[in-house]
């Protein structure tokens, strides 16, 4: 067998690729979470560079770096907040770039990092596989080696769903506007934006011009809801469909709580805005019902709106804050603290009220470790919102209700806005950028990292119960 060529004879691209593989392997082995964060950060930088180019702007001019970075972060973290009017500022090329960014970002932090590791080093370390498996509920496959197959299933499934939404939306836009090229573009854009809970719009006025068109409003709303369920739930639904008893506990909790929040949210939001002349008072009964459902679904992460958020009642804005903070399903395109987190907290309170030592749901016992992770996620989320809100209040003269609304929307990667993002100075925009990034990776990475770091204690300290409440 011939001897391998000396290092000096290896081409520069081969040496660079080898070093890159070694670096990825090292990071993935030592800290998979760091690899996930690095992957998302690099993707945001790439899209920032492209969006800052003149060709991305409708006026063929360079977009300021803070606006390009804000838009790239908002698209990759599938938030939807903007500092410019998307339908006016960005060219067709720029909107396509945003659409691609939403598709890539919608796959999720862990999926992106896993794909990066597999693409560069051809393998995913043991710890990386464990973290990916835990975060995506891949334990159902039974073997770590099937993580790569799982990633392909996720990409294929999401692509098929978005194509199906486009098939519904393209004819609707063609019938509404009569232009086939515009229909193809807008239908595809909203299909990607809705399923990925991106919240970006390709019309200067958003979807407000189609508020009375159920053939556009309903598919967008359905796309947002499906995307907010999460990949583990979609895989269970595809496998077992109507066999509810065979669903995993995670799928049951996610679907039940999501439907409950959607119905309750629609009733509350619709009731609060029913007679508001600035929003829904002049609509017919069924249009009001559709608006209420649309608002309830999108408030939990979709980011689309048929009304001006500034015209809502103060009580409606407060309820919207709560729903945005709640968010959607785990490992989904939605943000927030996740519906399973809320479910575990309420189940724990119910168990405590009954005097039960176990937290139970659907005939299953929820381990105490899940409760600790849920509490950690809530505390982290509340802390990030509080710090971000304090910084924005310091940087601007805006009232608390507007600042709190925009802060929660950024952290929860929701995208609903009272227009504050565009009004803030560059320093304030960077605060929202940090919140969007932290909101997309913070709770997911924390929950996954804590779950994979559980260990058995060799000894226990004497137990003493402090006074609580």
pLDDT tens per residue, range 279-296: 998 999 999 999 999 999
pLDDT, average across residues 419-444: 88
* Residue ranges per structural domain of the chain: 14-140+147-451
Q: Of 405 and 352, which is predicted with more confidence? A: 405
Residue 163 has pLDDT above 50, yes or no: yes
DSSP 397: -
> Half-sphere exposure (CA, 13 Å, Cβ side) for 69?
16
Tell me the three state secondary structure of residue 266. Answer: helix
- Give the residue among 131, 324, 372, 322 at the shortest CA–CA distance from 228: 324
Tell me the three state secondary structure of residue 57. Answer: strand
Tell me the three state secondary structure of residue 372. Answer: helix
Contact 197, 227 (CB under 8 A): yes
pLDDT band at 71 (very low <50, low <70, confident <90, very high): very high
Residue 9 has pLDDT above 80, yes or no: no
Residue 193 has pLDDT above 60, yes or no: yes
Which residues are paired to 90 by β-bridges? Answer: 57
pLDDT value of residue 58? 92
The tokens of 377 are what? Answer: 């996620």
- In percent, how much of the chain has pLDDT > 90? 49
pLDDT band at 187 (very low <50, low <70, confident <90, very high): very high
pLDDT value of residue 150? 66
**What is the per-residue DSSP string for 301-366?**
II---SS-GGGS-HHHHHHHHHHHHH---TTSS--SS-HHHHHHHHHHHHHHHHT-SSEEETTEEE
pLDDT, average across residues 50-73: 94
Q: Which of 9-18, 22-31, 150-159, 453-462 has the highest mean pLDDT?
A: 150-159
Residue 183 has pLDDT above 90, yes or no: yes
d(CA 331, CA 111): 9
Give per-residue pLDDT as tens, 11-51. Answer: 555 554 455 455 444 544 445 566 667 778 888 999 999 99
pLDDT value of residue 315? 93
pLDDT value of residue 432? 95
Average model confidence (pLDDT) for the chain? Answer: 82
Residue 323 has pLDDT above 80, yes or no: yes
pLDDT value of residue 121? 39
d(CA 237, CA 235): 5
- Give the residue among 142, 300, 136, 311 at the shortest CA–CA distance from 234: 136
Residue 410 has pLDDT above 80, yes or no: yes
pLDDT value of residue 453? 53
d(CA 168, CA 175): 12
pLDDT value of residue 89? 93
pLDDT value of residue 358? 85
Residue 180 has pLDDT above 80, yes or no: yes
pLDDT value of residue 20? 44
Give per-residue pLDDT as tens, 326-350. Answer: 998 887 888 889 999 999 999 999 9
The tokens of 378 are what? Answer: 């809530």
pLDDT value of residue 241? 74
pLDDT, average across residues 57-63: 93
pLDDT value of residue 363? 87
pLDDT, average across residues 151-160: 81
pLDDT, average across residues 366-383: 87
Alpha helices in 77-137 (DSSP H): 86-89, 92-106, 109-121, 126-136
d(CA 146, CA 45): 31
pLDDT value of residue 33? 60
Q: Of 222 and 333, which is predicted with more confidence? A: 222
Give this prediction's pTM.
0.85
**Is residue 208 classed exposed, middle or buried when 0-12, 13-18 and 19+ CB atoms within 10 A define those classes?**
middle
pLDDT, average across residues 112-126: 46
Residue 140 has pLDDT above 80, yes or no: no
> Tokens 């300290």 label which residue?
461
pLDDT band at 298 (very low <50, low <70, confident <90, very high): very high
Tell me the three state secondary structure of residue 60. Answer: coil
d(CA 19, CA 21): 5
């Amino acid at each position: 067998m011939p001897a391998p060529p000396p290092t000096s004879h290896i081409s520069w691209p081969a040496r660079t690729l080898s070093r890159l593989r070694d670096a990825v392997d090292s990071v993935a082995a030592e800290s998979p979470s760091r690899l996930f964060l690095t992957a998302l950060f690099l993707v945001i930088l790439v899209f920032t560079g492209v969006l800052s180019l003149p060709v991305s702007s409708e006026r063929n001019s360079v977009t300021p770096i803070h606006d390009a970075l804000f838009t790239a972060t908002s698209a990759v973290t599938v938030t939807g907040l903007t500092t410019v009017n998307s339908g006016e500022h960005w060219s067709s090329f720029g909107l396509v770039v945003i659409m691609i960014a939403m598709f890539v970002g919608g796959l999720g932090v862990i999926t992106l990092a896993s794909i990066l590791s597999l693409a560069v080093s051809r393998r995913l370390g043991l710890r990386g596989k464990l973290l990916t498996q835990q975060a995506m509920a891949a334990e159902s496959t039974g073997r770590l080696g099937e993580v790569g197959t799982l990633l392909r299933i996720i990409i294929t499934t999401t692509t098929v769903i978005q194509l199906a939404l486009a098939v519904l939306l393209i004819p609707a836009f063609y019938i509404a506007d009569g232009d086939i090229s515009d229909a193809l573009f807008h239908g595809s854009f909203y299909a990607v934006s809705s399923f990925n809970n991106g919240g970006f719009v390709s019309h200067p006025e958003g979807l407000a011009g189609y508020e009375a068109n159920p053939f556009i409003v309903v598919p967008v709303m359905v796309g947002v809801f499906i995307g907010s369920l999460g990949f583990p739930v979609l895989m269970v639904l595809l496998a077992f469909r109507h066999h509810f008893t065979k669903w995993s506990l995670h799928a049951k909790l996610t679907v039940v709580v999501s439907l409950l929040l959607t119905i309750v949210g629609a009733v509350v939001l619709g009731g609060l805005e029913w007679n508001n002349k600035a929003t829904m008072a002049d609509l017919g009964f069924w249009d009001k019902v559709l608006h209420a459902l649309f608002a309830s679904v999108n408030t939990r992460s979709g980011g689309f709106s048929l009304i001006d958020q500034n015209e809502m009642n103060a009580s409606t804005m407060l309820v919207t804050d709560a729903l945005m903070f709640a968010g959607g399903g785990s490992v989904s395109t939605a943000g927030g603290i996740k519906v399973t987190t809320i479910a575990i907290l309420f189940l724990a309170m119910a168990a405590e009220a009954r005097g039960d030592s176990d937290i139970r749901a659907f005939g299953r016992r929820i381990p105490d470790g899940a409760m600790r992770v849920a509490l950690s996620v809530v505390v982290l989320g509340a802390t990030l919102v509080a710090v971000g809100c304090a910084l924005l209040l310091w940087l601007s003269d805006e009232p608390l209700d507007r600042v709190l609304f925009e802060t929660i929307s950024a952290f929860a990667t929701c995208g609903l806005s009272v227009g504050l993002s565009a009004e803030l100075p560059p320093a304030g925009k960077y605060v929202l950028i940090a919140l969007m990034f932290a909101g997309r990776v913070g709770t997911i990475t924390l929950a996954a990292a804590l779950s994979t770091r559980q260990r058995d204690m060799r000894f226990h300290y004497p137990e003493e119960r402090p006074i609580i409440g």
